[in-house]
Amino acid sequence: MRTHLEWAIGQAVGDALRFVWQPQPAEPGAERTEVHWTGPAGTGAAIASALAGWRDVRFEVTEDPTPGSDGMRWMHSPQLGIAARRIDAAGSLLVPEDRIRSAIEAAGPDSRALLAELDEAMAGPWDRDLEGYRHASDASPVAWLHRVG
């Protein structure tokens, strides 16, 4: 599967890639890789779309904001599917006011329902699912992808 994932991400960024894979401590028998990349706005969406076809793969793709575009974070869990959320320069999720209004309306007077709605708006279920997978050993290698031009 590693080769297929590398190929899919390579197609998204327009370059052949090979990553350094390590055992995933959170799931015996699984592997993980971490890649830092640089590319034009929209590359994160292309990477997330390429990975979304593998429903059994957990991943997180973050595209930092630029002067002309918001940042984005895509999170995928086999149980939850994919979530895409806007982020600010500090990496905090941005919840649009219409989404907050929708949460208030859906919850009505039920404060627990409001908390659940806001938790979903902030991608809480995805965050909790991925948290244990985010941290490997401090010695894990990181690959940097750069695309110029």
For 81-108, letters b (16+ CB in 10 Å) and e give ebbebebeeeeebeeeeebeeebeeebe
Q: What pLDDT does residue 148 have?
A: 44
Residue 147 to residue 133: CA distance in whole angstroms: 27
Residue closest to 136 by CA, chosen among 8, 22, 49: 22
Q: DSSP letters along 81-135, please? A: EEEEEEE-TTS-EE--HHHHHHHHHHHTT-HHHHHHHHHHHTTHHHHHHHHHHH-
Domain residue spans of the chain:
2-136
Q: What pLDDT does residue 39 have?
A: 85
Strand pairing class (59-63; 71-77): antiparallel
CB 9 within 8 A of CB 47: yes
Residue 81 to residue 128: CA distance in whole angstroms: 14
pLDDT digits (tens, 9 = 90+) for 36-88: 888 888 999 999 999 998 989 999 999 999 888 889 999 999 999 999 999 99
Partner residues linked to 144 by β-bridges:
36
21-25, 96-100, 109-113: segment of lowest average pLDDT = 21-25
Q: Tokens at residue 64, please? A: 């930092």
